[in-house]
Amino acid sequence: MPWEYLIVWVLLAGAAVANGLLREFTYGRRLGELRSHQISSVLAMVLFGLIIATAGHVRPLASLSQAVRVGTAWIVMTVAFEFGFGHYGAGHSWERLWADYNLCRGRLWLLVLLWIGAAPALVFWWNRG
């Protein structure tokens, strides 16, 4: 993975933390946990899309296969961060962390991960347009 895209992932992680803080200290208090999670997930995909599109414009990836490798690496890094920090840093149970992957219960985190993985290839494709 190009080192610039490691920095982009750090920006994505920072945006995710900021998004979570926004949820916790604003609308999350009024809307309930599930609705807040859903809004936060959609907002994260929008924020991530903007960051990834900007990165793809400033530092375009060399090939579609490189874009796929970057997306795959980002998924692995994100899941590792989520479970590592979520469990050991924030003290969440494994069950709570896994629950965010349940689309049947309205949890959208899996869609966010798929977006993180697909976005570099989609931006590459769009830029090649």
Summarised one tens digit per residue, pLDDT across range 54-79 is 999 999 999 999 999 999 999 999 99
Question: For tokens 């874009």, what's the residue?
Answer: 67
Q: Is the pLDDT of residue 1 over 80?
A: no
SS3 call for 126: helix
Q: How far apart are CA 23 and CA 25, in angstroms?
A: 6
Which two tokens mark 51? 């960051």
Q: Is the pLDDT of residue 18 over 80?
A: yes
Q: Give the Cα-Cα-Cα angle 16, 124, 69 (nearest 5 degrees).
A: 70
Burial class (CB in 10 A: 0-12, 13-18, 19+), 99: middle
Q: Is the pLDDT of residue 49 over 80?
A: yes
Q: Give the Cα-Cα-Cα angle 66, 117, 100 (nearest 5 degrees).
A: 160
Q: Is the pLDDT of residue 90 over 90?
A: no
Question: For tokens 């697909």, what's the residue?
Answer: 118
Query: What is the percent of the chain where pLDDT is above 70?
Result: 100
CA distances from 129 to 49, 56, 119, 123 (A): 17, 13, 15, 10
Q: Is the pLDDT of residue 129 over 90?
A: no
